[in-house]
Structure 1
Amino acid sequence: MDTRPLGVPAYRRIWMGQAVTHVGVGVTVVAVGQQVFELTHSSFYVGLIGIANLVPLVVFGLWGGAVADAVDRRKLLIVGSLIAWTATLLILAQAALGLDNIWVIFGAVALNSTGFAITGPTRGAIIPRILDPELVPAANALNSLVYSLGAVLGPMVGAVALANGKFAAAYTVDALLFTASLYAALKLPPLPPLGEVTRPGARAVWDGLSFIVRSPVLLMSFVVDIIAMVFAMPRALFPELTAERFGGSMIALGWMTSAMAIGSVAGALFSGWVGRVKRQGVALSIVIAVWGLAVAAAGLAHELWLVVAFMAIGGVADVISSVWRQSILQLYAPDEMRGRLQGAFMVVVAGGPRLGELRAGAMATGIGLSGAWVGGGIACAVTVLIVGLSVTGFRNYRAR
């Protein structure tokens, strides 16, 4: 792994803050789902947690990105962090007081998602301001590492907290760990906007989206990610596969759920070569095709270790794809547009997997588990190579 970005104090604090905070986020994800299920005994209500997250991410992701282009990004990051921390404290309070009201939980989840929708684009737009351009891909690989570690460690810590102290203990862990991210934001230098400042609002959001449409390289970086997630994301099929092939074992379900994150950690740890790849358009198309084929292979496997191994390979491909997509976005766009483009990026990253889960569930109902899983992976690989390599600007793009 290329660790040179950690030599920059401002980035190092952000990275360490995220490393600690994402473990807490993983704890709350597990605890909220389990608490809602215990209150309702309904997977439908557990599924509604995703909607409570998605709507603020779409609305405030786009708006927060526009604001990030018009104000001091340090101040906006602090505001968004305080909103997210307040939401975590509300979730903790409802558990400690024993309110047992799912609508309070949904409201707190939506507020937390609002804070994340503001901080996500802002933090992404800050990275190119505090690092030299050649360090940006390495920084994105380091960011992917902490996200993946959080996805692996957070649920484990959450399970221990729930077993020993119930929900209030789990939410307390998140509330305490979140202070690391807030501290990193407070220690940043002032980051006022550069270039032409556009008043945040619908017009600013529209200008950002129009810039993407007019830029084939940026547009295709979004399109190939949507192809990857909508065609090949199999997460909604994990419970059915567990029941059909592994006797409903929760151990099997746990391994499948963690497999991608395990692969992502491995991919990020050995990502030093990623920043040296210049033809990122071609490379991105190829690595997403690998993701699709790995998913298809996992759907054909009847041994748990093979399913986990192939999904981990998919996780490696996914984290490399994420690094290149984020780097293209950060370095191709002018600074005065980066916040808005990061907001659009967040909407795609958040919405794509949820659309993919809807696609997978609907196809499994219509044509069966294997057709939905394997067919989606193969369709992803074929489609991304055709689409990604057919656009001349994207095919010929070389990293700046």
Structure 2
Amino acid sequence: MSDPDHPAPVTAVEKPRRSLFVDLTPLRESPPFARLWGGNAIAGIGSQITVVAVGLQIYDLTGSTLAVSLVALFALGPMVVFGLYGGMLADVFDRRRVALISALVAWASTGGICALAWAGSEAVWPLYLLTMANTVGATVFASADTAITPRLLRTELLPAASALNGISSGITITVGPAVAGVLVAAVGYGPTFSIDVVTFTCAFLAVVLLPPIVPEGGAERPGLRSLVEGARFLRRAANIRTSFIADIIAMTFGQPRVLFPAAGAVLIGGGAVTVGVLTAAYAVGGLLSSVFSGPLGQVRAQGRAVGRAITVYGFAMLAFGLVLLVQSLEGHGRVSQQWNGVHLPALAAAAAALLVAGGADNVSAIFRGTILQASAPDAMRGRIQSVFIVVVTAGPRVGDLYIGLMSVIAVALWPGPVLGGILIVALIFVLMRTQRSFRHYDAAHPVP
């Protein structure tokens, strides 16, 4: 009987896989990975419903895009602190147990948001606090969860696993926001948040069924020494560090989601339904890039691939901003181009730009995740994964704040994504020119 923690090595030379479609081998070879993947996908739908619904509720209560973006500010500091601490825990204790405890924290905070909605509360500050707690729990859970994956699969299958995770993420972000927009409009916030409480059970059960996964290598116990040890490793790990910087650039200047409620209410029309369409378009791009990710497994120049993907992302953000600019100049446009108050050409153009952005972001994420998992030693994986998760989750929140502030300063929605797209393209060009080792990273010889 095979051990899911230590898959048997490949004993024969396998022919390169040349299918256009995603490689399903990780799901076939590792039942624990398959259960974890499926559980996270189902639970993720509920989580995305809550993310969108909280933004809509705060906007309904305040009428302020800045108030929506403040969710990011309240969550940012605790998320960074507890995210890093969670990574230290995952390098010392059973990663399954760390994931279970953090999942309970996220679950309880979602239940609190749900209870407030059913009670008809109109206070905004409890939503900030509970969203902060939910983000902390989810960040620690993700640190343990991503450090678990390399123990369930062969190294050669990590790009395929990242692509499969991209599919699950695409499904969750496609289905979740669309369902959230419809449910909020149809039945209100209480029933909408209840979906997340129920679906989270799937992720919890998938973790319960995992075998114990104790870290290898004898890391320092959680504390300052462990944190310093991780920082020293990251300082030496130029390729991992550069992948973090690239993602920070993209997410800081290219995260327009806090504009969606105002775009739906003021520029494009359609309200909550438009918010769902725009959010889902981004996710569909990620989903499609994962479904047709077969050739990505043969890419060896993964650092260069990251740079190119984020450059495409920057141009897509610029295009989205230009759509908002044109719409702000024309207003709602001709009545013949509207359907139930929605300006269809503007919605289609904005959705197309976000679809390209989602695809490019997912391709970048596949390669960045593979670089990290393939090159980091197991004893360091929890801490480095925690930094990765903090970057992935904190970057968009800083981006939310940037976009919110830009919309207030410029008294318009379009300057944030327009300037942000230009900055992304320029900064990634400089980064790839100056980081030679990352530009020449070879997946056949992974070096952190």
TM-score, normalization by structure 1? 0.91
SS at match of 1:90: helix
1:323 aligned onto 2:344: no
Change (3 A) 1:180 1:43: same
Cα shift readout 1:137-186 (whole Å, capped 9, x = no counterpart): 11111112212221121123233443454333222211111110000000
The corresponding residue for 1:385 is: 429
Query: Hey, what's the Cα distance between the residues in 2 that align with 1:270 and 1:32?
Result: 32
CA distance in 2, matches of 1:210, 1:132: 27
What RMSD, in angstroms, separates the aligned Cα atoms of the two structures?
A: 2.5
Say which is worse superposed, 130-139 or 92-101, in terms of deviation.
Answer: 92-101
Residue 373 of structure 1 deviates from its aligned partner by 3.0
The answer for the alignment partner of 2:349 in structure 1 is: 306
Match of residue 99 from structure 2: 77
Q: Deviations over 1:25-63 (max 9, x none)?
A: 122223333444455555554333223332332111111
Amino acid at match of 2:175: L
In structure 2, what is the equivalent of residue 355 of structure 1?
Answer: 398
Aligned residues with identical type, % of pairs? 38
Cα distance 1:375–1:188, how it changes in 2: closer, same or farther (>3 A)?
same
Q: Is the 8 A contact 2:253 2:402 kept in 1?
A: yes
Give 2:364's aligned amino acid.
Answer: S
Note the residue ranges of structure 2 that are not aligned, 5 or more in a row.
1-21, 327-344
Please show how residues 55-204 of structure 1 align to structure 2 within 5 Å: 55-204=77-226
Q: Which moved more, 1:147-156 or 1:339-348?
A: 147-156
Indicate how the Cα distance of structure 1 residues 383 and 44 shifts in structure 2: closer, same or farther if over 3 A, else same: closer
Which of 264, 272, 281 does residue 294 from structure 2 map onto? 272
The counterpart of 1:263, out of the listed 277, 285, 292, is 285
**Separation in 2, partners of 1:105, 1:297:** 33
Name the amino acid aligned to 2:421: G
Out of 29, 50, 65, the residue aligned to residue 28 of structure 1 is 50
- Quote the Cα distance in structure 2 between the aligned partners of 1:367 and 1:175: 37
Structure-1 separation of matches of 2:403 and 2:120 = 37
**Equivalent position of 1:2 in the other structure:** 23
Residue identity in the other structure for 2:375: Y
**44-53 or 279-288, which deviates more:** 44-53
Q: For the residues of structure 2 that align with 1:357 and 1:27, how far apart are their CA atoms?
A: 18
2:219/2:380 contact within 8 Å kept: no
Letter in 1 for 2:393: A
- Rounded to whole Å, the distance in 2 between the matches of 1:35 and 1:234 is 18
Match of 1:345 in 2: 388
Deviations 1:53-86 (A, max 9, x none): 3233211111101110010101111111112112
Deviation at 1:23, TM superposition (A): 0.9
Deviates more, 1:251-260 or 1:303-312: 251-260
Contact preservation (8 Å) 1:57, 1:346: no
Distance (Å, rounded) in 1 between the aligned partners of 2:270 and 2:138: 34
One-letter amino acid matched to 2:160: A
Return closer, same or farther for 1:377/1:367 CA change in 2, 3 Å cut-off: farther
Aligned position for 1:394: 438
Question: Structure 2: how far apart are the matches of 1:163 and 1:255?
Answer: 14
Check 1:209–1:84 CA distance in 2 against 1; reply closer, same or farther (3 A cut).
same
How far is 1:323 from its partner? 0.8
Q: In 2, distance between residues paired with 1:371 and 1:37? A: 20
Distance 2:195 2:275 in 1: 25
Give 5+ residue unaligned stretches, structure 1.
Answer: none
User: Which structure is higher in helix share?
Assistant: 1
Selected match of 1:336 from 379, 399, 404:
379
- The answer on whether the counterparts of 1:224 and 1:388 sit within 8 Å (CA) in structure 2 is no
Q: Under a length normalisation based on structure 2, what TM-score does the superposition of the two structures give?
A: 0.82
SS of the residue 1:29 aligns to: helix
Stretch of structure 1 that moved more, 339-348 or 26-35? 26-35
Distance 1:193 1:204 in 2: 14
Structure 1 range deviating more: 226-235 or 80-89:
226-235
For structure 1, which segment, 162-171 or 25-34, has the greater mean C-alpha deviation from structure 2 after superposition?
Answer: 162-171
Amino acid at match of 1:281: G
Is the partner of 1:198 in helix, strand or coil? coil
- How many positions carry a matched residue from both structures? 399
